[in-house]
A = this chain, B = another copy of it.
């Protein structure tokens, strides 16, 4: 019986839109039902509780994010180029309003980062995953010898994520796309700062 799964998908498609703009708290069963021409109980039945609906919304958003940002660069071999492509991919994702509220996770992380519970746990897990991805690409670029062997990859990841994420609210708040260009320049600059000398052996000692 697949009709149920189909309905869940329909609901979640709308749910991620709403949550990316107004947050997970603004998700309401009744609103989703009227928006989609369903009954309240029909929407409710598909999830069993509001919290489960919110968790499912986070999972759905994770998939969309992964498709939009990670998939396009999956085939790229490790190295600095892959890292730069990731940054561009992320900026394009925020810029293209894949979620109408910009980056879904920027919105909901701010909403729940100070509220313990299953939702914050789920968001923390997603952040860790995203952070590990960036870190992995940085390690890749170090292993190819394009980044200095003694570079602090955690610090670089922190700055990269920071400048990318920060482009989002500024672009949304002012309906202005120049923050994306600043973020791009800032990311490239940070990578350049720890780039290895071109004639340094690939795996030099620290």
Contact = CB atoms under 8 A, between A and B. Distances in A.
B109 A111 contact: no
Contact of A23 (B106, B111, B124, B193): B111
Contact of A115 (B22, B109, B168, B183): B22
Contacts of A114: 20-21, 100-102, 107, 172
A32 B173 CA distance: 28
The copy count of this chain in the complex is 2
17 contacts: A20-B114, A22-B25, A22-B111, A22-B115, A25-B26, A101-B114, A102-B114, A107-B110, A109-B173, A123-B173, A158-B182, A159-B159, A159-B163, A162-B167, A162-B186, A163-B163, A189-B193
Interface string A164-182: 0111111011100001001
Identify the 7 closest CB pairs spanning chains A and B, nearest first.
A110-B110, A162-B166, A113-B172, A101-B114, A158-B182, A162-B162, A113-B173
Interface of A, secondary structure class, is helix
Interface of A: 20-23, 25-26, 100-102, 106-107, 109-111, 113-115, 120, 123-124, 127, 154-155, 158-159, 161-163, 165-170, 172-174, 179, 182-183, 185-186, 189, 193
B113 A102 contact: yes
